Amino acid sequence: MTTHNGEQRWQAVSLDLSRGVPELSCEPGYDGMRVVFFWKRIPLGHCQLASAQLPLDRSQVAAVAAQSISTAAGDYIFEDGFRSALPGSPPPAIEDPVATLEALLSVERPIARLAMNLPVVGPKPRQRLTVAVCTHERPQELERCLTSIVASAEPPDEILVIDNAPQTNDTYDVVARFPSVRYCYEPQPGLSAARNSAMAAAHCELIAFTDDDVVVHPDWTARLRRCFEDPTVMVVTGLVLPAELETQAQQIFENDFHFFHQGYRRRYFDADYLTAARRRSAPVWEIGAGANMAIRRRAFDLGYRFDTRLGPGVFGGCGEDSEFWYQILVDGWSCLYEPSGCVFHYHRRDVPALRNVVTQYMRGHVAALIIQFRKYGHFANLRRLVWELPAEYIILFLRSITCGFPLGRRIMLRGWFGSFSGLRAAFFRGRSEIPAE
Amino acid sequence: MPTKSCQRYEILQIDLSRPLEPLTVPPNACGVAFVIRADDRPVAYFMEALPAGTTIEPEALASKILEHAGKQILADRIFKELRGPLDASRFPRLDIAICTHNRPETLARCLSSLRDVGARWESGRTRVLVIDNAPSDNRTEEVVRNFAGVVYVREPKPGLDFARNRALAECTGDLLAFLDDDVVVDRCWLTGLQEAWAANPDAGAFTGPILPFELETKAQIVFEQMGGFGKSFERVRFGARLPESPTYPCGAGIFGAGANMVFSRAALERLGGFDEALDTGAPLPGGGDLDIFYRIVLAGYPLVRESNLVVYHQHRREYKQLRHQMWTWGLGTMAYLVKCWRQNPAERASIRCWTVWWLCYQLSKISIPHLRKSGGRWPIDMVIAELAGAVVGICGQYDRSVARIARLRRRFA
């Protein structure tokens, strides 16, 4: 069942198993479904089911769900044994394997146990939360995003919209429809500048950022807010799930490029992570995504800023978020990836836009590596640039020669040109320089 | 290269219902293969080269078990809990067919393992058939006579798929299981099948892990180190498509192997049984199982890989036999692909992709990372044998086999 232009349509489905295991069948017109399994509104895993594998009855759904959620469920139930490996690092060692195995075997009914162990949304913490949405001429998407934020189970104390270098009044008009949302104007183009001005304008101790092309989960604000108990945690990132997979471009973005998806288990990154991975470059870009992160305002007070030479609207389509995390980690603070705070992202629908995004991402990635190297002299960044990244491309190219050049690979290979243009970052002069697009 | 003394691995069944104890590698062994059982069910298999006399402390063993089996133990229990209690009372009638050719001793072993699991089974709804394929003497018939209730059928046309189709013709049950004569079934085999069927009554086929029965010779160890048969303990319900797999379903090795497979009789009859030109003894001794799995899923039947459907297979003991087996694998795989290529023009992209992948996979067996993982034996002769078989398979072996079985059919008509 493909649409008139031969493109597949997939359905993005959220399924809360705590409400019982349902039967699954594919809606007419779809080629398959990507099911994200939740338990009491906490995401635990996903699977892809082609329409040829459907429908499934309850016990078959149970089998698929069990395979998809077991690792994350184990991480929530047990002290040890199911901890997530950090990107670029081997899986963590188990401290007491005998006791861990005994604990595993003693749990006859893991789901009942999971219900007890899941992090509950406890009393509201003392710290207050600002949600900041930086936007640039996307009024419809912004409205959808703001609607979901306002409807949060625990609404934030403040909602900011940073209108970044606007050309029309559309954003202002949308914001005017939400009485609880404050409008801020930022003339300097670039997501980094917008985020910096959001941190300056925010009145609360915690600032959660999301993008305008996102819809947040009702628990998103509550979950992120409760992750800042540890005073060394400066940044919390969360899971970004696909909101829809209606077009080929969206499916490629989700399945072929793992830009956003960092798994269903909590990960903790501290300065040791950076030093342990010093020889190989630490993949800081896998800490999370700028579309779903919260920052302690103290980081701003301490002088941490998003590099205004990087990021969408300035130079490259990313890199400003991971470069910010890099600064945080270098100075001994820590970052936390907390998947229970999740948002749903509308990926680019058409292929030219996706191609542009990938090129911009590669450009921003390379620029961020160069800036990190220039700032801290960490040779791992250079190593990534001259060795790991080219090697990845060569492997990708060889694999394409043997198994063909599907669209996803072609787009990825084109991203290579983006990385070349990213090399211009080597000639940036001061922090104040605004590179021309 | 292994030393002369390194000729066997000890196979240990670790039952997790009992506390772990320190284990010592026996003096005549150079490694250990572990079969892990939790809740009495096999959940993982892994092997490791260890010098004789080494003691494995419970800590080290526990961390290995967690690494290989932890996820599966938990997934099994979550599955049971989400699924709820199972109504096993309406299991359909089952025929178990063992196709054999001049191997009475191993056949007797297989039959007694079936009798052991059958003892826990309500009688009358399960029947065991022995298909004696072109025997040269009466020994097989005599062995079968010792097992009450086992049906003996003689199939004069030599060829495994002739025997399998004969089993299909003789079958009266709703499910038809095929076991090789050189396997022994696990004690949970029947209950595993029962549960898999209860969850998937619409499935066209069930397959399961095939573990080594013994690792007594170099050839058997090398075979396992090269990957052996499929040993995935993950429950999967395959359909006609698998997302994110361009080579599916033509890489039919992921489904399982002919030593341990169960079919719905209705599905087999609708597909017209096995392709007798494949698996026909010496000229083309392989590919029949891949072919039937492929046709089952393409016809739209679900194929279920069930982790509890475990058998233990006695691999070839002699190195020369193993090399020959690898040759037949290459031959059978390529003959099967040639057939697929002709009959399913729509699937050609996946066939091409899979052929390239298969070649890369063969070459990867002699790559350095693989060597490091498998303990340093360089199985270049095995890879050459398989590739040589593949070349013969591509160069018209399927057509020669079709012509040959036509002659056979005429002769036995």
Give the count of alpha carbons within 13 A of B194, CB side only: 19
Closest of B187, B318, B316, B179 to residue B256, by C-alpha: B179
Write out chain A residues lying below 8 Å of B79, CB-based.
62-63, 66-67
A21/chain B closest Cα distance in angstroms: 7
Contact: A59, B20; criterion CB under 8 Å: no
Q: Who contacts A250 (Cβ-Cβ below 8 Å, separation ≥6)?
A: A242, A244, A347, A348, A349
Give the distance from CA B403 to its chain's centroid: 28
What is the residue type of A178? F
Write out chain A residues lying below 8 Å of B196, CB-based.
none
Contact: B66, A112; criterion CB under 8 Å: no
Which chain A residue has its CA at the smallest distance from B87's CA? A59
Interface of B with A in 359-378 (CB under 8 A): 360
Helix (H, G, I), strand (E, B) or coil at A403: helix
Which chain A residue has its CA at the smallest distance from B81's CA? A109
Contact: A62, B349; criterion CB under 8 Å: no
Strands B151-155, B126-133: parallel, antiparallel or unpaired by DSSP? parallel
Contact of B312 with B184, CB cutoff 8 Å? yes
Write out chain A residues lying below 8 Å of B236, CB-based.
67
Contact: B16, A105; criterion CB under 8 Å: yes
Give the A:B interface size as CB pairs under 8 Å.
Answer: 130
User: What φ, ψ does residue A162 adopt, rounded to 5°?
Assistant: -100, 110
Which chain B residue has its CA at the smallest distance from A18's CA? B82
For residue A388, give Cα distances in angstroms to A280, A385, B75: 9, 6, 35
Q: Over the stretch B118-152, which tens digit does the pLDDT of each residue have?
A: 755 556 788 899 999 999 999 999 999 988 889 99
User: How many angstroms separate the CA atoms of A86 and A68, rounded?
Assistant: 20
Torsion of the alpha carbons at B101, B102, B105 and B111, rounded to the nearest 10: 30
Strands B236-238, B303-305: parallel, antiparallel or unpaired by DSSP? antiparallel
The full DSSP string for A321-359 is: HHHHHHHHHHTT-EEEEEEEEEEEE----SHHHHHHHHH
Residue A124 contacts B, CB cutoff 8 Å: no
ipTM of the modeled complex: 0.91
Contact of A284 with A105, CB cutoff 8 Å? no
For residue A271, give Cα distances in angstroms to A83, A228, A233, A266, A275: 19, 17, 11, 17, 6
Measure CA of the first residue to CA of the last residue in chain B; give whole Å: 53
A111/chain B closest Cα distance in angstroms: 6
Write out chain B residues lying below 8 Å of A110, CB-based.
74, 77-78, 81
Q: Output the pLDDT for position A3.
A: 41
Which chain B residue has its CA at the smallest distance from A72's CA? B71
Of B17, B59, B237, the CB nearest to A98: B59
A106/chain B closest Cα distance in angstroms: 10
Query: Residue B376: pLDDT above 60?
Result: no
Residue A110 contacts B, CB cutoff 8 Å: yes
Give the distance from CA A21 to its chain's centroid: 28
Cα diameter, chain B: 64
Identify each DSSP E strand in A40-87 by its residue range. 42-50
Q: Who contacts A355 (Cβ-Cβ below 8 Å, separation ≥6)?
A: A411, A414
3-state percent helix, strand, coil for chain B, nearest multiple of 5: 45, 20, 35
Of A32, A66, A402, the CB nearest to B360: A402
Of B72, B79, B357, the CB nearest to A62: B79
Contact: B199, A17; criterion CB under 8 Å: no
Greater confidence, B51 or B284?
B51
Contact: B81, A109; criterion CB under 8 Å: yes
User: How many angstroms separate the CA atoms of A19 and B239, rounded?
Assistant: 27
User: How many angstroms separate the CA atoms of A242 and A255, rounded?
Assistant: 10
Closest of B373, B335, B364 to residue A399, by C-alpha: B364
User: What φ, ψ does residue A431 adopt, rounded to 5°?
Assistant: -65, -25
Q: Residue B344, class by beta-carbon neighbours within 10 Å (0-12 exposed, 13-18 middle, 19+ buried)?
A: middle
A346/chain B closest Cα distance in angstroms: 21
Q: Quick count: other Cβ atoms within 10 Å of Cβ A4?
A: 5
Give the distance from CA A421 to its chain's centroid: 25
Query: Residue B369: pLDDT above 70?
Result: no
B206/chain A closest Cα distance in angstroms: 14
Greater confidence, B191 or A278?
B191
Which chain A residue has its CA at the smallest distance from B65's CA? A101
A53/chain B closest Cα distance in angstroms: 5
Query: Residue B4: pLDDT above 70?
Result: no
Q: Over the stretch B192-245, which tens digit does the pLDDT of each residue have?
A: 998 899 989 999 999 999 999 999 988 898 888 877 887 889 999 998 888 877
**Interface mutation target, options B14, B76, B78, chain A, most CBs of A under 10 Å:** B78
Contact of A383 with A281, CB cutoff 8 Å? yes
B403/chain A closest Cα distance in angstroms: 34
**Interface mutation target, options B21, B82, B87, B356, chain A, most CBs of A under 10 Å:** B82
- pLDDT, one tens digit for every residue, chain A (437 residues): 334 456 789 999 999 999 999 999 999 999 999 999 999 999 999 999 999 888 999 989 999 999 999 999 999 999 888 999 888 888 888 999 999 999 999 999 999 998 888 877 778 888 899 999 999 999 999 999 999 999 999 999 999 999 999 999 999 999 999 999 999 999 999 999 999 999 999 999 999 999 999 999 999 999 999 999 899 999 999 999 999 999 999 999 998 887 788 899 999 998 888 887 666 777 888 899 999 999 999 999 999 999 988 888 887 778 889 999 999 999 999 999 999 999 999 999 999 999 988 888 888 899 999 989 888 888 888 888 888 889 988 888 887 776 677 788 888 888 887 788 888 877 776 655 555 44
Helices (H), B207-305: 218-225, 265-271, 288-298
User: How many angstroms separate the CA atoms of A72 and A45, rounded?
Assistant: 7
B16/chain A closest Cα distance in angstroms: 8
Contact: A402, B356; criterion CB under 8 Å: yes
Q: Output the pLDDT for position A403.
A: 67
**What is the b/e burial string over A315-331, where b = at least 16 CB atoms within 10 angstroms of the residue's CB?**
bbbbbbbbbbbbbbbbe
Q: Output the pLDDT for position B89.
A: 72
pLDDT bucket at B374, cuts 50 / 70 / 90 = low
**What is the b/e burial string over B345-373, where b = at least 16 CB atoms within 10 angstroms of the residue's CB?**
eebeebbbbbbbbbeeebeebeeeebeee
Give the distance from CA B100 to its chain's centroid: 15
Which chain A residue has its CA at the smallest distance from B21's CA? A98
Give the distance from CA A49 to its chain's centroid: 23
In this structure, what token pair is assigned to residue A305?
């800023």
Which chain B residue has its CA at the smallest distance from A400's CA? B353
In this structure, what token pair is assigned to residue B218?
């170099």
Round the average pLDDT of chain B to a whole number and report it: 87
Going by the DSSP 8-state scheme, the letter that residue B275 receives in this structure is -
User: What φ, ψ does residue A185 adopt, rounded to 5°?
Assistant: -110, 130
Which chain A residue has its CA at the smallest distance from B306's CA? A63
In this structure, what token pair is assigned to residue B336?
């099967």
Interface of A with B in 67-86 (CB under 8 A): 67, 69-71, 73-74, 81-82
Q: Output the pLDDT for position B7.
A: 79
Helix (H, G, I), strand (E, B) or coil at B71: helix
pTM of the model: 0.91
Give me the helix-helix angle, B288-298 and B160-170, nearest 10°.
Answer: 50
Contact: B357, A402; criterion CB under 8 Å: yes
Contact of A248 with A407, CB cutoff 8 Å? yes
What is the residue type of A232? T
Write out chain A residues lying below 8 Å of B70, CB-based.
74, 81-82, 101, 104
For residue B232, give Cα distances in angstroms to B144, B236, B260, B398: 33, 10, 13, 30
Write out chain A residues lying below 8 Å of B63, CB-based.
93-94, 97
User: How many angstroms separate the CA atoms of B274 and B168, rounded?
Assistant: 9
Q: Who contacts B113 (Cβ-Cβ below 8 Å, separation ≥6)?
A: B184, B185
Of B81, B234, B349, the CB nearest to A67: B234
Closest of A392, A396, A298, A288 to residue A345, by C-alpha: A288
Closest of A227, A174, A188, A220 to residue A205, by C-alpha: A227
B233/chain A closest Cα distance in angstroms: 11
Greater confidence, B251 or A45?
A45
A78/chain B closest Cα distance in angstroms: 11
Of A49, A63, A402, the CB nearest to B199: A63
Torsion of the alpha carbons at A299, A301, A304 and A307, rounded to the nearest 10: 120
3-state percent helix, strand, coil for chain A, nearest multiple of 5: 45, 20, 35
B260/chain A closest Cα distance in angstroms: 21
Residue B349 contacts A, CB cutoff 8 Å: yes
Query: Residue B84: pLDDT above 50?
Result: yes
